[in-house]
Amino acid sequence: MEEFHWHRILEFVRAVAPFDALPQQDLERAVSAMEVAYFPRDTVIIEQGGPSSRFLYFLQSGSARVGLPGAGEGGGELLVDERGEGDTFGGLSLLQGGKAMFRVTAREDLICYLLPGEVFKALCAAHPSLERHYGASLARNLQAVREHVSCELPALAGLEGMSLSAAMMRSRVRELMSPKPVTCLPAMPVKAAARIMTQRQVGSIVVAQAGGHPLGILTDTDFRVRVMLRARSLDEPVAEFMSAPPHSISPDAYAFEALLAMSHHGVHHLVVVEDDRVVGVISDRDLQAITGGSPVGVVRAIDKVASVGELVRLHPSIDRVVELLLRMGGSAREMLALVTEFNDRVTTKLIALTEEDMEHSGAGRPPVPYGWMALGSEGRREQTLRTDQDNALIFANVPEASQERVKAWFLGFSERVVAGLERCGFPRCTGGVMASNPDWCQSEAGWQKTFLRWVSDPKPVTLRLGSIFFDFREIYAEADYLDTLRLRLKQAMEENRLFLRYMAANALYNRPPLGFLRQFVVEKGGEHANKLNLKLSGLTPIVDGARVMALELGIDTTNTLERLAAIEAQGLLKKELAADLVEAFSFITLLRISRHLEARAEGRTPDNFVDPESLNNFQRKMLKEAFKVVSELQSLLEQRYQTRLIT
């Protein structure tokens, strides 16, 4: 080969993942094949639905937006991802061939290095890691689309190494759909439709004309939310309750297109239509099936286990499925809800099994009704992968005389549940916040008294406990103790406004790490030198702030995103700030989850630290924005609760 001239350009390309892994010789060959192109702002570089890209584009300067025309709000373009200096685009479209999935537009004046398709494909053939990387970028884009149509926050938390894409890209709807759809005529009574769905064990029924023209679809969810709530009689026709017209897709569409359509319309079923006739139904479960994990299977398995030992043995596969689902992506809200769902199921099952164990061991049935409370992040439904236990127990009020005996039973019971949870991979709480602790295993009256005591006496320890306990949620309850407790807490809060001021001051303790020069302030020393703590500096301030305001306004939910929505609805948060906070919280959560998954994949113990250097420009920018929003929230808290008055 001729003498190589472009050493700096080569270093630039080498700094772009995954090209860093390529040997010098291949990099030289790649750079020698490159062309430098300029695209003025707003130029459409790749058109969605147009021919696939002919180049892999390396962004030398400027930024580009990856979007889905017509999918955004009001038929505009849905922002899927944003690429900045040192990123690439076009790779997926190149590998995939066919029509381009997304539109790529120059957001600013762009200078790109263009690597011709043939050269790129040859490199992919020689280095499978390249192909994997670009496969994963599809997953990232899909994830961004799944986020939510109206949500402008692209999911950037780079989830590497996933296997979803290949299957999603190659499989067609025809191969995955249920080919013999269950259909009925619009006049069929809902009762009959329900019977058919149960008999055929399907989650949906397509309502079609006799000729096969689809009119609508009725799903399990429709039964729950429409039929159950609205039907005066179960003899009313299905046409009254179906979703019409149904969202449909061609059998020749790719699996990922189905996924896009589902996430775009927020539905779980699509009617597969060919020549205006129903030929099948495809559901999100059909799509999940090709990714290898069957969450449904694991949920069934949890429900079926007969002993604690079996449940413990099941925990690796639960972990695997949760991880897989997380890797498939989704919004922060969905991901958190998903982890919570699995953890709740495990806990509920463990409680039921332990009750049986107690009975078999001669301790007998629970002496009085009780409830199992989830606290902290579990209480807020914001767990990511496995986190420490935070739980408590509440039991019915009993006469003084039997108090000791009843409490002893529940303590023994709690210890067993806690030990079981530990064996299932939930470490014990180092602070002892567990139902097996006599302080946190109380009667209804006991809890009410405890909460009132804390609220009327704000000091560091009660504030800390409050921040854990006031996020309580029932995982299992035989009566409405928790509703009553919540009501009492609300009353206590109204009578003790000072507590809120202290709690607000506490919420200001963790400041977002934006230094004077708008540089990230990172840990100065120790194991996490030069890293940011995502949880403490990003999430905790939002969670704490939302809690204070929710307690003030008497908002029942404990989930931070729901709290923010409710606070906004009551006018305490401006719409824009609330939206920004939701976005900041979601972004940091996604980033945190992706870091956890990475750590797991590499066999490390997940922690909450992230090295800003390891983020790409856009992620860094987003993180800075997120921290700015947190700052804004804290200024609001300072003013509203006059936290300066306490020192």
Partner 1 sequence: MSLVKAKLANLLLRRRVKSRDLHPNARANLEALEGLDLAAPLSACRFVVLDTETTGMDPETDRVVSVGAVRVVQGRVRLGEAFSELVNPGRDIPAMAVKVHGITPDKIASARHGAEVFEDFLSFLGRDILVAHYAKFDLHFINRVMRGRYGFSLQNLVLDTVLMCQAVVLASDPYGISRHQKACRLEALAQRFGIAAPERHTALGDALITAMVFQRMLARLEAVGGTRLKDLMRVAQLK
Output the smallest distance, CB 12 to partner 1, in A: 7
Instruction: Count CA atoms within 13 Å of residue 392 on its CB side.
Output: 25
Site mask for partner 1 (CB under 8 A), range 87-126, x = bound: ----------------------x-x-xx------------
Q: Which of 19, 22, 27, 31 is the binder for partner 1 (CB under 8 A)? A: 31
Site mask for partner 1 (CB under 8 A), range 43-82, x = bound: -----------------xx---------------------
Tokens of residue 114, six digits: 């263009």
Is position 5 an interface residue for partner 1 (rule: CB under 8 A)?
Answer: yes
Q: Which of 15, 23, 40, 180 is the binder for partner 1 (CB under 8 A)? A: 40
Name residues contacting partner 1, limited to 427-466 (CB under 8 A): none
Which residue do the tokens 């759809």 mark?
181
CB 241 within 8 A of CB 190: yes
User: Looking at the chain, how many residues does it have?
Assistant: 647
Tokens of residue 642, six digits: 């006059």
CB 599 within 8 A of CB 160: no
Q: Which of 15, 21, 36, 126 is the binder for partner 1 (CB under 8 A)? A: 36
CB 558 within 8 A of CB 380: yes
**Burial category of 37 from C-beta neighbours within 10 Å (exposed 0-12, middle 13-18, buried 19 and up):** middle
Of the two residues 62 and 458, which places its CB atom closer to partner 1 in the complex?
62
**Treating both helix axes as pointing N-terminal to C-terminal, what angle do 308-328 and 575-601 enclose, rounded to 10 degrees?**
120
Is position 170 an interface residue for partner 1 (rule: CB under 8 A)?
Answer: no
Of the two residues 3 and 400, which places its CB atom closer to partner 1 in the complex?
3
Is position 180 an interface residue for partner 1 (rule: CB under 8 A)?
Answer: no
Is position 33 an interface residue for partner 1 (rule: CB under 8 A)?
Answer: yes
Tell me if residue 48 falls in helix, strand or coil: coil
DSSP H helical ranges for 283-399: 284-290, 295-304, 308-328, 332-360, 376-379
Q: How, if at all, do strands 35-39 and 64-68 pair?
A: unpaired
Q: Which of 21, 23, 38, 438 is the binder for partner 1 (CB under 8 A)? A: 38
Tokens of residue 97, six digits: 């061939």
With contacts defined by CB under 8 A, how many residues of the chain interact with partner 1? 22
Pick the piece of the chain touching partner 1 (CB under 8 A) from 3-11, 131-139, 322-330, 586-594: 3-11
End-to-end CA distance of the chain: 73
Taking the CA atoms of 466, 471, 477 and 480 in sequence, report the sign of the dihedral they define.
Answer: positive
Q: How, if at all, do strands 64-68 and 78-83 pair?
A: antiparallel
Pick the piece of the chain touching partner 1 (CB under 8 A) from 27-35, 274-282, 420-428, 446-454: 27-35
Is position 363 an interface residue for partner 1 (rule: CB under 8 A)?
Answer: no
Is position 317 an interface residue for partner 1 (rule: CB under 8 A)?
Answer: no
Taking the CA atoms of 28, 32, 38 and 44 in sequence, report the sign of the dihedral they define.
Answer: negative
Of the two residues 105 and 442, which places its CB atom closer to partner 1 in the complex?
105
Is position 387 an interface residue for partner 1 (rule: CB under 8 A)?
Answer: no
Output the smallest distance, CB 111 to partner 1, in A: 7
Output the smallest distance, CB 7 to partner 1, in A: 7
Residues that bind partner 1 in the complex, under the rule CB under 8 A: 3, 5-9, 12, 31-38, 40, 60-61, 109, 111, 113-114
